[in-house]
């Protein structure tokens, strides 16, 4: 098992949607705000998380994640901290480009396949994975009795899932997931309350 593997279960949430998400663009570090749908998704996520017992929220500094986290924190009365360790992948020269057109251009058929064609002027996939695991593991170690929600981005959540579970999963905006350690490995499950 990875040395940086988290010690216990934790929650992850992809921020609410932005206009670039709806347009199917690589967003990366471009600091776009939530759109109206994204704000609605953040409020819906807060309602879903009310009965989970989240005691701390850690968020990416990008405004789309931070605003999502603020809405949830206010609704469930949990402290909120910003951590650069779960900021979105820097997609370099892919930022703003159509994801679908880029996949077609490079002959990639799945989102997971994108990890092999990231541009040299962006962030390497193994770096995204390493920093995300280190961030999550660090918070879990420092707060062993707390249920922690990480409000972040698709690439961060997928990097965690691929490292812990071996593959990507179907991630949706504003949908909370729990990363659960099992005897034979990890599992990502949608939170339904």
Catalytic residue numbers read 15, 88
Q: Which helix (H) or strand (E) holds 43?
A: helix 36-49
DSSP string, 126-180: HHHHHHHHHHHHHHHHH-TT--EEEEE-HHHHHHHHHHHHSS-----TT-EEEEE
Core vs surface per residue 46-84: b (16+ CB within 10 A) or e: bebbeeeebebbbbbebebbbbbbbbbbeebebebebbe
Q: How far apart are CA 168 and CA 142, in angstroms?
A: 27
Q: How far apart are CA 18 and CA 34, in angstroms?
A: 5
Q: Which residues contact 67 (CB under 8 A, 6 or more apart)?
A: 15, 16, 33, 34, 38, 39, 42
């Amino acid at each position: 098992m990875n040395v940086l593997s988290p010690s216990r279960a934790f929650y992850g949430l992809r921020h609410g949607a932005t206009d670039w998400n709806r347009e199917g663009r690589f967003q990366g570090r471009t600091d776009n705000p939530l759109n109206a749908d994204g704000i609605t998704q953040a409020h819906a996520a807060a309602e879903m998380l009310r009965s989970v017992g989240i005691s701390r929220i850690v968020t990416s500094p990008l405004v789309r994640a931070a605003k999502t986290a603020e809405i949830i924190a206010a609704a469930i009365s949990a402290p909120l901290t910003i951590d650069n360790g779960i900021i979105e992948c820097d997609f370099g020269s892919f930022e703003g480009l159509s994801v679908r057109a880029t996949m077609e251009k490079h002959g990639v058929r799945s989102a997971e396949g994108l990890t092999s064609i990231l541009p040299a002027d962006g962030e390497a996939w193994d770096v995204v994975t390493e920093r995300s695991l280190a961030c999550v593991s660090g918070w879990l170690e420092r707060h062993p009795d707390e249920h922690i929600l990480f409000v972040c981005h698709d690439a961060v959540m997928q990097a965690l899932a691929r490292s812990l579970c071996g593959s990507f999963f179907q991630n949706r905006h504003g949908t909370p997931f729990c990363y659960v350690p099992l005897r034979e490995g990890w599992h990502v499950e949608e939170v339904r309350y």
